[in-house]
Structure 1
Amino acid sequence: MAPWIAALGATLLMQSVASFMTQSLPVVAPLITASAGLAPERVGNFSSLVAFGTVLFLLLGGPFLARLGPVRTLQLGAAICAAAMLTAGLGTVAALGLASLLLGVGYGPSPPAGSRILAATAPKEHRTLIFSVKQAGAPLGGAMAGLISAPIAASAGWPVALLVAVVTALAAAALIQPLRSVLDAERDPARKVGLRDVFSPHNIAAPIAALRIDPLLPKLVALSVSFALCQGCLFSFTVTWLVETRGMGLVQAGSTFAVMQVAGVVARVLLGWIADRTGQATRNLVVQAFVASGSVAALALLPVGAPTAALMGLCGLAGFVGASWNGISLAEVARVSPPDRVGDVTSGSTLFVFLGYVAGPSAFSLLVTLSGGWELPMLLVAAQLAIVAALVGASLRR
């Protein structure tokens, strides 16, 4: 077996599991928020905490990645996610907040560790496709959440659904252990990970400073953040929006959510292949952003009595174009980065992306409360993506 195939299998597995863990929380959110006595839209605040936890790892986790190696760091992330789900099982508001933060920290290793593994092993002529296949694990994990966590929560209770997620994370961490001796061979056992080293100004600034390496990076980051705002809101609120405004049961809403996720899986592979063939990955993302903006706006304006098929079709389109940009973006970041700086540049770009995930759901939740409905927030999400795409597209033409 070629080394890159094993590397892709490991990173795809861990990306899928990390996404399954983080998406299981919003999928069962209508039950959890009701149990905790919270308004349904408050799930946006928990989603923002998840993203903030990831930001913390991306800012501070560089020394751990260097010392432990990417495989061990991915295993550590899975263990933290498992601990987060056990914490969420307590069901209190404080426990849900802490669990959300820990989920984000546990998800944090996936982008930089995965990119480090694939940048060292993937054939250059297929780099974008391979990165996109790995990133297909994100919507694949979300689809698993919709198809597994939602039915279990509806039939056996949401604590049981969280327990299933715990077992899944620990099993995945065990499965990739045989690859550690090969993929972690270049780790630095002497790298210090004390508090002074982790919180040093140099360590905190390194991922952000790395974004000055290439002039394409700021444009790519801006577009990726805008996509993240859109995707974060879609993933955080789709199930709750379907239950609250379309009268769906949790299982049917979870299935519709799974359609969105599966469409993203297919799109990540297909659009990654197209990006390799055209050699114009960033320009492709601009076009994709305009289509994603239109799909979200169409969802917002879809009449309440519209056929279920139309609703599921639009959700699928939104997932196809709005949740398939990640692998293309990460591949472009790796392409313009020096081999020894891939981890830092990926952490820097992903850090800003997750700031988008932090801001998006919380702002969306606030707008739902202030406007008394879901239509205006969804239209604003669509508008910001179209505006940023237009600005980046104009910059690329210049």
Structure 2
Amino acid sequence: MARQAEISAIRRYGPKALPWRAALAATLLMQIVAVFATQALPVLAPLVTRGTGMAPEAIGRVYGVAQLGTILFLLFGMPVLARLGPVRTLQLGAGLAGLGLTAAVFGSPLAVFAAALLIGLGNAPSIPAGSRILAATAPPAHRTLIFSVKQAGAPLGGMTAALVLPWLAEKASWPAALALVIFALFAATVTVQPMQAALDAERDRARDISPRALLSPANVATLFKALTLHPLLMPLAALCFGFAAATGCLWALQVSFLVEARGETLAQAGLAAAAMQAGGIAGRLILGWLGDRTGAATRNLLVQAFVAAGCLATLVILPASAPQFAFLLVSALAGATASSWQGIALAELARVTPAERVAEATAGASIIGFLGFAVGPAVCAWAISVLQDWTAPLLAVPALLAAGATLLAPRLRKVA
């Protein structure tokens, strides 16, 4: 009877039945494992591309396909989120990512690209589902920091991948490393299950999720209409595109760049990637806290874009003879500035968007952002292949980020 009363209270009060710390813990865990899965192929790229007969830079196209999977879910999957609830949707995403990693073990180029698509589909729910949970539970005075803590799960998952997976691949094999990621996805899915009833209590059980409903133009149009609810949303989404293109190139190509163009070992390159992800964790926490303290989170993002561009350019032009410490330091600074924008942007979206439209606005802005994740690495990989040079294409990435921030600055300052 006591348990039944608890369940009734959960269903009556929804997300408010759980403290925000529990909600944050659930979204943080699922964010960590989602990015752990997303980064598995990039950090193992030299082994995966050699084992499947692909060119080293092809990992940029693989990463782009993963982001395409994320975009597809964000475009068509919001009714699924409404019907199942955020936690169940996160669990579904973990299952799709695990299926993708299982496919990658087959070791053919087709299997790797199919795996990337499924991993991207699996990663997608972490943003709108997490935003829906935190928008309903986070105290307004600490919203930016709480969203940034949740997004810190992204570099934490990436850092774990960069530290653990290359080591395990060298000790055993890259399929064995992927098996570890699959286990982590399963364990996280089981761990968040006790919170599912409370956090999914407000789901729309009558929402139509038939193929016709999911693929309807009206479903897609709703996401972009949500970006017209406030004048800040569209230019902020455009800035996110530039940040995402830069972050995507950094996450997808750093290890391959250091191995192929700088002569680092896989373990050394993995350590640099881990330093970049560690910088991302620190950057998200510090910059999220700063956004709350200054009350000028969007304007802070503009400054951050220029600093990130400088750090990324420095990483590319460091000579191969530079000490390992220099690569680690610059990688950490690049991670702290170039990848520490999502939590701040998501908190700003939640701040100016009506609560009932947060998931839609977040999905719309995230689609634009993930286009950057998809286009940036894919185009950069194409340019590397055509020019047979890593430096010029990678230097173009921070140049475009700085140029975009310059163009958007007047409008963002006006409406922030």
Structure 2 residue aligned with 1:49? 65
Where does 1:69-84 land on structure 2 (aligned, <5 Å)? Answer: 69-84=85-100
Structure 2 residue aligned with 1:233? 249
Q: State the alpha-carbon separation in 2 of the partners of residues 308 and 13 from structure 1.
A: 31
Q: CA deviation at 1:375?
A: 1.0
Q: CA deviation at 1:396?
A: 3.3
SS of residue in 1 equivalent to 2:54: coil
Q: CA deviation at 1:11?
A: 0.2
Deviations 1:169-201 (CA, angstroms, capped at 9, x unpaired): 011000000001110000011111111111111
Q: Does 1:190 align with 2:206?
A: yes
Q: Does 1:273 align with 2:304?
A: no
- From 119, 127, 143, the counterpart of 1:127: 143
Q: State the alpha-carbon separation in 1 of the partners of residues 309 and 33 from structure 2.
A: 28
Q: Does 1:380 align with 2:386?
A: no
Where does 1:1-398 land on structure 2 (aligned, <5 Å)? Answer: 3-398=19-414
* Count of aligned pairs between the two proteins: 398
Q: CA deviation at 1:395?
A: 2.4
Q: State the alpha-carbon separation in 2 of the partners of residues 107 and 298 from structure 1.
A: 30
How much is the aligned-residue C-alpha RMSD, in angstroms? 1.0
Q: State the alpha-carbon separation in 2 of the partners of residues 396 and 206 from structure 1.
A: 23
Structure 1 residue aligned with 2:10? none
Aligned residue type for 1:366: W
Q: State the alpha-carbon separation in 2 of the partners of residues 121 and 6 from structure 1.
A: 10
Q: CA deviation at 1:2?
A: 6.2
Q: State the alpha-carbon separation in 1 of the partners of residues 112 and 385 from structure 2.
A: 21
Q: State the alpha-carbon separation in 2 of the partners of residues 10 and 396 from structure 1.
A: 33
SS of residue in 2 equivalent to 1:324: coil
> 5+ unaligned residues in a row in structure 1: which ranges?
none
Q: State the alpha-carbon separation in 2 of the partners of residues 245 and 387 from structure 1.
A: 26
Q: CA deviation at 1:96?
A: 0.7
Aligned residue type for 2:369: V
Q: State the alpha-carbon separation in 2 of the partners of residues 148 and 7 from structure 1.
A: 27
Aligned residue type for 1:357: F
Q: State the alpha-carbon separation in 2 of the partners of residues 385 and 237 from structure 1.
A: 17
Percent of aligned positions that are identical = 51
Q: State the alpha-carbon separation in 2 of the partners of residues 300 and 152 from structure 1.
A: 28
Which stretch shifts more, 304-313 or 279-288? Answer: 304-313
SS of residue in 1 equivalent to 2:107: coil
Aligned residue type for 2:120: G
TM-score (ref. length: structure 1): 0.99
Aligned residue type for 1:55: I
Runs (4 or more) in structure 1 with deviation over 2 Å come to 394-398
> 5+ unaligned residues in a row in structure 2: which ranges?
1-16
SS of residue in 2 equivalent to 1:248: coil
Structure 1 residue aligned with 2:12? none
Q: Contact 2:276/2:332 (CA < 8 Å) preserved in 1?
A: yes
Q: CA deviation at 1:298?
A: 1.1
Q: State the alpha-carbon separation in 2 of the partners of residues 50 and 22 from structure 1.
A: 8
Q: CA deviation at 1:397?
A: 4.1
Deviations 1:210-247 (CA, angstroms, capped at 9, x unpaired): 11111001110111100000000000001101111221
Which stretch shifts more, 277-286 or 245-254? Answer: 245-254
TM-score (ref. length: structure 2): 0.94
Q: State the alpha-carbon separation in 1 of the partners of residues 176 and 137 from structure 2.
A: 38
Q: State the alpha-carbon separation in 1 of the partners of residues 324 and 195 from structure 2.
A: 45
Q: State the alpha-carbon separation in 2 of the partners of residues 118 and 154 from structure 1.
A: 39
Q: Contact 2:263/2:320 (CA < 8 Å) preserved in 1?
A: no
SS of residue in 2 equivalent to 1:40: coil
Deviations 1:300-357 (CA, angstroms, capped at 9, x unpaired): 2212211211111111110010010010000001111101001100000001111111
SS of residue in 1 equivalent to 2:204: coil
Q: CA deviation at 1:289?
A: 0.4
